[in-house]
């Protein structure tokens, strides 16, 4: 008996030692466990079952394999809320009464907060809403570079600058995915215009690709850990993005190491064999004949004929199963349940909106407006009470509610000052997809509206004009015809300003507008974005001074369109269905700075009701090796009387480089909140490796040794501190 016990003890000990060996089952990492289970599942699947998983079986789902416990996969737009439920086989509303979702600030608004922490929180609550609606993938964020002010989808995107895009999209994705929902970063790649997006062929240099258009996607995958990626409609260097082995295999899989799912934009696939072999995993579409999709029956045929190997199909299914395990669709772990339009979600929408609002001009203390000291406020303009959530096409939402600026002012001002309204101008446009904008002009009515607004402004203490555009202009499927303020708003603004010198203009728009003819005349200009369901409350709080504005522009506002890099020659919208990005790496402020063209409002610009002082710039060393990081520190003080936040922007320039480099590039930033008189030492870390340029000769990133200038700025054009460091051989 005693002997038996000893033998048992030895057996147990041996089992423990074995279990602790590297490579043993117990030691298997979570990733390895997932790989094992993916392979096990795959082995049991027929070719038809595999193919079922790699194409749409409704507008927003793919088939599962019931007998193996693999459910259907459910996708939803994105990117700033969960889209209304539609019928499986049509684009008609499904008529649900419980799918009115939160409407969060859109992409450019999120970027304008310059607050990656907030981006993460918005991502998290968006993920929770998607989970609550039983979605597995939310189709966002959209991160295409804002190359031209005219792109109809700029409002969904983030910025003209790849560093700001990267810093904001990675936490947004982490937030979404923390709710057990996959993010889908889109649209890979070079979908920088909506005109001809389904046909245009984009040409750019390797350097432009690496330095400007790829970094956001790289960060989304490497830092954000994005599980899925949507492949764009357009062509890239002669090949459709969806059948482009360079983009899908060489860059995504081999270079970046992407292990997730690539899915086509809706109906962006043009072939079976080429697309399957190029590396696309999943075909989504707009048509309801799902079996006829390129990745349905024709792909089964192609495998049988030996044109596509079954191993290729297996890779695609593996990518999908892997994401299913990671988001707990499979694997038996308890999955987050999510939540919907909760007070917390409303609070997040409000917070992001408040931090996104950009104060562009404020003369003679026109702002804030103290409702206890002014008697009447004239509220003018169509955007005062227009709701925007439903517009923009695929990103449009059935919002639970949307507070307009007028409603916000009513909520906040209550019985204090009197709010009086006049429309001032009429939104006389309608967007008809495929036909563009249709206008119905009524000159008599326009004159009457103008007259009413001027009279009201004259009789009021303050006039606030809610101007700008709407989703007839900022929309998927089309670009704007120009950068001008439509509906004769310029005339309205100038006339109202003559009638009341305390005229404040609030702009609603998601991309740059021409403000050059109104800028010098009005007392104040505020940029308000499409700012989600709480946007009106946030705007009222900024206008009345409860909140101090702290947003900064994520793009440049040029004086005129012809100043823009993409519009200098004929680089937009292309010639013969080809668009050459001849401006190369000089996109956004890189162009204006390097060419010495003064913009109307520079990238990174935004005022506050208080003032900030920058001083005492230091670096931890004077010279650095290529593997080092530069620790830049300086102090920031709130020198005014109101609490506020300032985003300090760190740009680096490489004046002695042997190749052309932009005058400067953003390499770090920090948003700092300070009480009146408060001061803080701010530290920004810049890895020396991030100072590299992409060398086309070496096909590699190169940091040239030598001196680099460090510029601590309040906007790309407003330098506050400067210094330099040296990078050694």
Size of interface with ligand BGC, in residues (CB under 6 A): 7
Q: How many residues does the chain have?
A: 729
Is residue 345 part of the contact set for ligand BGC (CB under 6 A)?
no
Q: What is the DSSP string of 475-536?
A: -TT---S-SS--TTHHHHHHHHHHH-SSEEEEEE-SS----TTTTTTSSEEEE--S--TTHH
Q: State which residue, 59 or 322, has the beta carbon closest to ligand BGC.
A: 59
Q: Give the Å distances, CA to CA, from 565 to 162, 237, 512, 582, 583.
A: 16, 20, 14, 9, 6
Q: What is the DSSP string of 419-430?
A: EEEE--S---EE
Is residue 155 part of the contact set for ligand BGC (CB under 6 A)?
no
Alpha helices by DSSP H, listed for 206-266, are 206-208, 215-222, 245
**d(Cα 509, Cα 335) in Å, to the nearest integer?**
38
Task: Phi first, then psi: give them for residue 236, nearest 5 degrees.
Answer: -130, 120
Shortest Cβ 20–ligand BGC spacing (Å): 47
62 closest CA partner among 302, 332, 395, 296? 296
For residue 265, indicate whether it is catalytic: yes
Token pair 């009701």 is found at: 609
Is residue 139 part of the contact set for ligand BGC (CB under 6 A)?
yes
Q: State which residue, 50 or 80, has the beta carbon closest to ligand BGC.
A: 80
Q: From the centroid of its chain, how far is CA 606?
A: 19
**d(Cα 232, Cα 221) in Å, to the nearest integer?**
17
Report yes or no: 710 and 600 within 8 Å, Cβ to Cβ: no
Query: Max alpha carbon distance in the chain (Å)?
Result: 108
Q: State which residue, 109 or 542, has the beta carbon closest to ligand BGC.
A: 109
Question: In the set 339, 342, 376, 394, which binds ligand BGC (CB under 6 A)?
Answer: 394
**d(Cα 128, Cα 499) in Å, to the nearest integer?**
49
Shortest Cβ 266–ligand BGC spacing (Å): 4
Shortest Cβ 681–ligand BGC spacing (Å): 43
Task: Phi first, then psi: give them for residue 478, nearest 5 degrees.
Answer: -155, 155
Other CB atoms within 10 A of residue 136 CB: 25
Shortest Cβ 387–ligand BGC spacing (Å): 21
Q: State which residue, 308 or 320, has the beta carbon closest to ligand BGC.
A: 320
Q: State which residue, 142 or 175, has the beta carbon closest to ligand BGC.
A: 142
Q: State which residue, 78 or 215, has the beta carbon closest to ligand BGC.
A: 78
Q: What is the DSSP letter of 290?
A: G
Among 201, 265, 479, 541, the active-site one is 265
Q: From the centroid of its chain, how far is CA 184?
A: 12
What is the contact mask toward ligand BGC in residues 352 to 391, using x (rule: CB under 6 A)? ----------------------------------------
Q: Give the Å distances, CA to CA, from 361 to 507, 521, 609, 611, 637.
A: 12, 11, 11, 14, 21
Q: What is the DSSP letter of 246?
A: I
Shortest Cβ 61–ligand BGC spacing (Å): 12
- Bridge partners, residue 142, by sequence: 186
Shortest Cβ 165–ligand BGC spacing (Å): 16
341 closest CA partner among 177, 116, 104, 120? 104
Token pair 């004009």 is found at: 465
Q: State which residue, 139 or 146, has the beta carbon closest to ligand BGC.
A: 139
**d(Cα 487, Cα 445) in Å, to the nearest integer?**
12
Subset of residues 631 to 660 that bind ligand BGC, contact rule: CB under 6 A:
none
Q: State which residue, 156 or 541, has the beta carbon closest to ligand BGC.
A: 156
Shortest Cβ 106–ligand BGC spacing (Å): 13
**d(Cα 687, Cα 628) in Å, to the nearest integer?**
6
Is residue 265 part of the contact set for ligand BGC (CB under 6 A)?
yes
Token pair 């204006």 is found at: 592
463 closest CA partner among 494, 509, 508? 494
Shortest Cβ 476–ligand BGC spacing (Å): 6
**d(Cα 470, Cα 511) in Å, to the nearest integer?**
11
Shortest Cβ 616–ligand BGC spacing (Å): 46
Is residue 266 part of the contact set for ligand BGC (CB under 6 A)?
yes
Question: In the set 131, 186, 502, 720, which binds ligand BGC (CB under 6 A)?
Answer: 186
Token representation of residue 99: 């799918």
Q: 141 preceded by cis ω (within 30°)?
A: yes
Chain residue at closest Cβ approach to ligand BGC: 394
Q: State which residue, 379 or 399, has the beta carbon closest to ligand BGC.
A: 399
Q: State which residue, 143 or 607, has the beta carbon closest to ligand BGC.
A: 143
What is the contact mask toward ligand BGC in residues 33 to 72, using x (rule: CB under 6 A)? ----------------------------------------
Q: What is the DSSP letter of 28?
A: -
Token pair 């987050």 is found at: 336
What is the contact mask toward ligand BGC in residues 74 to 93, using x (rule: CB under 6 A)? ---xx---------------
**d(Cα 707, Cα 728) in Å, to the nearest integer?**
9
115 closest CA partner among 626, 667, 550? 550
Shortest Cβ 529–ligand BGC spacing (Å): 19
Q: State which residue, 81 or 528, has the beta carbon closest to ligand BGC.
A: 81
Q: State which residue, 140 or 662, has the beta carbon closest to ligand BGC.
A: 140
**d(Cα 602, Cα 707) in Å, to the nearest integer?**
26
Subset of residues 501 to 560 that bind ligand BGC, contact rule: CB under 6 A:
none
Shortest Cβ 268–ligand BGC spacing (Å): 8
**d(Cα 104, Cα 113) in Å, to the nearest integer?**
13
Shortest Cβ 667–ligand BGC spacing (Å): 30
**d(Cα 286, Cα 268) in Å, to the nearest integer?**
9
Residues that bind ligand BGC (CB under 6 A): 77-78, 139, 186, 265-266, 394
Catalytic residues: 265
């Amino acid at each position: 008996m005693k002997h038996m016990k000893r033998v048992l003890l030895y057996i147990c000990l041996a089992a423990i030692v074995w279990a602790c060996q590297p490579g043993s089952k117990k030691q298997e990492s979570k990733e390895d466990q997932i790989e094992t289970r993916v392979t096990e599942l795959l082995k049991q699947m027929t070719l038809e079952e595999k193919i079922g998983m790699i194409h749409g079986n409704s507008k927003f789902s793919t088939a599962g394999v019931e007998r193996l416990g693999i459910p259907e996969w459910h996708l939803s737009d994105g990117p700033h809320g969960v889209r209304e439920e539609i019928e499986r086989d049509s684009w008609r509303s499904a008529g649900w009464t419980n799918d009115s979702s939160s409407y969060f600030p859109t992409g450019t608004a999120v970027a304008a907060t310059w607050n990656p922490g907030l981006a993460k929180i918005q991502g998290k609550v968006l993920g929770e809403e998607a989970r609550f609606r039983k979605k597995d993938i939310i189709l966002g964020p959209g991160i295409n570079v804002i190359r031209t002010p005219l792109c109809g989808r700029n409002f969904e995107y983030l910025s003209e600058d790849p560093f700001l895009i990267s810093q904001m999209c990675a936490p947004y994705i982490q937030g979404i995915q923390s709710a057990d929902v996959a993010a889908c970063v889109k649209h890979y790649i070079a979908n920088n215009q909506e005109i001809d997006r389904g046909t245009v062929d984009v040409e750019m240099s390797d350097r432009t690709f690496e330095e400007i258009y790829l970094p956001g996607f790289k960060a989304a995958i490497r830092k954000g850990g994005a599980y899925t990626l949507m492949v764009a409609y357009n062509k890239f260097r002669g090949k459709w993005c969806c059948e482009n082995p360079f983009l899908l295999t060489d860059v995504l899989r081999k270079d970046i190491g992407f292990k997730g799912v690539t899915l086509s934009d809706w109906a962006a696939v043009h072939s079976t064999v080429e697309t399957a072999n190029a590396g696309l995993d999943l075909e989504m579409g707009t048509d309801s004949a799902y079996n006829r999709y390129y990745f349905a029956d024709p792909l089964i045929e192609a495998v049988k004929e030996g044109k596509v190997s079954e191993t290729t199909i297996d890779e695609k299914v593996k990518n999908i199963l892997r994401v299913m395990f990671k988001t707990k669709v499979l694997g038996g772990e308890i999955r987050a349940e999510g939540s919907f339009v909760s007070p917390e979600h409303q609070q997040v929408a409000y917070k992001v909106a408040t931090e996104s609002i950009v104060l562009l001009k404020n003369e003679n203390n026109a702002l804030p407006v103290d409702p206890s000291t002014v008697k009447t406020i004239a509220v003018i303009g169509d955007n005062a009470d227009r709701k925007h959530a439903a517009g923009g096409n695929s990103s449009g939402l059935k919002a639970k509610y949307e507070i307009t600026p007028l409603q916000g002012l009513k909520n906040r001002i209550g019985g204090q000052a009197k709010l009086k309204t006049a429309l001032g101008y009429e939104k006389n446009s309608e967007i008809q997809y495929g036909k563009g904008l249709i206008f119905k002009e009524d000159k008599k009515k326009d004159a009457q509206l103008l007259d009413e607004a001027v009279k009201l402004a004259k009789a009021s203490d303050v006039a606030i004009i809610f101007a700008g555009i709407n989703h007839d202009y900022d929309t998927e499927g089309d670009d704007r015809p120009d950068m001008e303020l439509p509906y004769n708003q310029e005339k309205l603004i100038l006339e109202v300003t003559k009638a009341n010198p305390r005229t404040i203009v609030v702009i609603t728009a998601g991309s740059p507008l021409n403000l050059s003819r109104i800028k010098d005349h009005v007392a104040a200009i505020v940029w308000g974005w499409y700012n989600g369901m709480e946007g009106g409350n946030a705007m009222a709080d900024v206008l009345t001074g409860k909140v101090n504005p702290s947003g900064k522009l994520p793009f440049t506002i040029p004086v005129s369109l012809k100043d823009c890099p993409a519009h200098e020659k004929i680089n937009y919208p292309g010639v013969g269905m080809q668009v050459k990005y001849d401006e190369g790496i000089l996109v956004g402020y890189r162009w204006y700075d390097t060419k010495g063209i003064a913009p109307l409002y520079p990238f990174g610009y935004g005022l506050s009701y208080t003032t900030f002082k920058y001083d005492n710039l230091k670096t931890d060393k004077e010279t650095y090796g290529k593997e080092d990081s530069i620790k830049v520190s300086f102090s920031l003080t709130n020198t005014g009387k109101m609490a506020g936040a300032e985003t300090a922007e760190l740009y680096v320039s490489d004046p002695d480089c042997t190749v052309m480099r932009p005058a400067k590039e953003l390499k770090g930033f920090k948003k700092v909140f300070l009480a009146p008189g408060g001061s803080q030492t701010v530290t920004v870390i810049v890895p020396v490796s991030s100072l590299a340029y992409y060398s086309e000769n070496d096909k590699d990133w190169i940091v040239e040794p030598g001196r680099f200038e460090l510029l601590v700025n309040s906007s790309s054009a407003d330098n506050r501190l400067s210094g330099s460091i040296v990078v050694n051989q």
